[in-house]
Structure 1
Amino acid sequence: MAVLKGLIKIEGTLDGLTFYKGKKGYLIRTKGGISKERIQKDPAFIRTRENANEFGLAATAGKILRYALSTLIRNAKDSTLPSRLMTTMILIKNQDTASPRGQRNPAMGLSTPEGKRLLHDFNFNTHANLTQVLHAAYSVNGTTGEFSMPGFVPGTQLVAPPGASHVTLQSALLNVDFNTEVRDLKLSDPLNLRINLTSEDVALDPAAVTGTGITMILLQLSFFQEINGIQYHLNNGAFNTLNVLKVI
């Protein structure tokens, strides 16, 4: 690395030299790095190739799950979702103790209790975590996917965003095979409630799903503002929740 002295200040690459501004002024370094071909073939980089392959498998698994839930995610997500989900999938693939190094994948990791636990309680929108929004006791049937919440009072057991007049609750069952990408998503009938002090027995029961993949139960809360008898999504769904309640 060299320091550029003089009146001319350059940033960028020229004739194999990279000019950039650092803490000590304008610096110069030669354009270098390891070639792609060497990384792909050199035995010294076998660990690099293994890590890159597993990184790709985790990224693909996250993408498959996002696509499988696209109808729900559309109104309940934040800008960090892809990176957060991939980070979770990386942790899940580490639970794969059957595949050789370089081929560990989230599909195998999710077949383990610890892998399922890592995806449990995942929030697709960090601006609206379920535990911060819903303050009511509920139960989830791990066999049928039924969500039950007796005596729910939206006005006191829900932390609704300013301006919200109604909330819609909907549960979902998803079976997704991360190897074949075959998926089956079933939604319960939506339950729309006015945010007031009226008590409501909530029961959401989606139809059964089929498939040989991983099954998960999810819950979505969507907030609306009523104007002249019409309900509108509040702030384009920025306050909506989508949470993985259970991985079966």
Structure 2
Amino acid sequence: MAKQKGVVFLEGTIGGVNFYYRKGVPTARAAGGGFTKKAIKTSANMVRVRESNSEFGKCAQVNKNFKQAIRPFLLGYKDGTLHSRLMQLFLKIKDCDINSARGARCVAEGISTSVGVQRFKAFVFTPKRPVLLPCSYGFDWDALLLSATHFDVQTVGFPKEASFMELVFGVVRFDFQTLTYSLVMAAPLVIDREYASNSFTLSVAALPGGTGVLFAMLRVAFYQEVNGENYLLAGGNAFGVEVVSVKE
């Protein structure tokens, strides 16, 4: 039996290792039997444990840096499950790496596969608002333009307290190998309850520089205006984030 160390503590079984809390202390042990910290590092029987630990640690670093990269889209949002759900996503994308040996598999290789990209695109950031807008919308990589059509403000689902909706759009470039990132943002678009048009567009001036995967990201957030101050309504379906498009 060994104590878990670090900023992320697990529960469950991964790679033949049971992660659990014992008297409030995060603990790990081999499924079916105990072991020591020394055994984890040196025992031939613990090879799979070391391999899993190595891959898990790399995914944890991806998770940490990725959340920093998309921070402008998550400001004000509170979801205690997001960190662990993203961690599970990156572990699954890592599993798509079929070129590296076990213990050396990584997200950078996994997301270079079609299955890895699909898993990334399918991830639901905000389960309480999985579909941001009840209309057709997409990003044109050549025109650098997010376009929405067949839009009807009456079907958006304004929370009762909301005064207006704000759309925040940007393109992020994230290098899953070096964990570096850059982004460009469009000017926010505010839509109130009286919005009459059935379409809108948001554009960026250029793509972010650097290397890595490009993804266009959209945030929908509702605000309540009280005495001239705007307050974010981040609970329930009043907040949504989505990866609209991905370009390798």
Do both share a fold (TM > 0.5)?
A: yes
Per-residue CA deviation, residues 41-91 of structure 1 (Å, 9 max, x unaligned), is 111111111111111122221111101111221233411000000000011
Q: Give 1:176's match in structure 2, choosing from 150, 174, 177.
A: 174
**Residue of structure 1 equivalent to 2:242:** 243
Counting matched residue pairs gives 216
Map 1:138-157 onto structure 2 (within 5 A): 138-143=137-142, 145-156=144-155
Q: Is the 8 A contact 1:117 1:247 kept in 2?
A: no
Asked if residue 201 in structure 1 is aligned to residue 202 in structure 2, the reply is no
Give the superposition deviation at 1:200.
4.5
Give the superposition deviation at 1:225.
1.4
Structure 1 equivalent of residue 3 of structure 2: none
Runs of 4+ in 1 over 6 A off after TM superposition: none
Deviation string, structure 1 residues 224-244 (Cα, Å, up to 9, x no partner): 112344432225797211111
How far the C-alpha of 1:125 sits from its partner, in A, is 2.5
Give me the CA root mean square deviation: 2.3
Gaps of 5+ in 2: 1-21, 24-32
Q: Percent identity?
A: 31
The match for 2:105 is: 104
Q: Name which of 160, 163, 173 aligns with 2:161.
A: 163
Aligned in 2, Cα 1:214/1:197: closer, same or farther, shift over 3 Å? closer
Separation in 1, partners of 2:84, 2:164: 31
- Asked if 2 retains the 8 angstrom alpha-carbon contact of 1:175 and 1:211, the reply is yes
SS of the equivalent of 1:138 reads strand
Q: Which has the higher mean CA deviation after the structures are superposed, 60-69 or 85-94?
A: 60-69
**C-alpha distance in structure 2 between counterparts of 1:152 and 1:211, whole Å:** 35
User: Does the residue aligned with 2:85 lie in a helix, a strand or coil?
Assistant: helix
* Greater Rg by CA: 1
Q: Sort the Cα spacing of 1:111 and 1:78 in 2 relative to 1 into closer, same or farther, 3 A.
A: same
Distance 1:184 1:197, change over 3 A: closer
TM score, norm. by length of structure 2: 0.79
Greater alpha carbon shift after TM alignment, 75-84 vs 193-202: 193-202
Q: 1:242 to 1:57 in 2, by over 3 A?
A: same
Contact 1:172 1:186 in 2 (8 A): yes
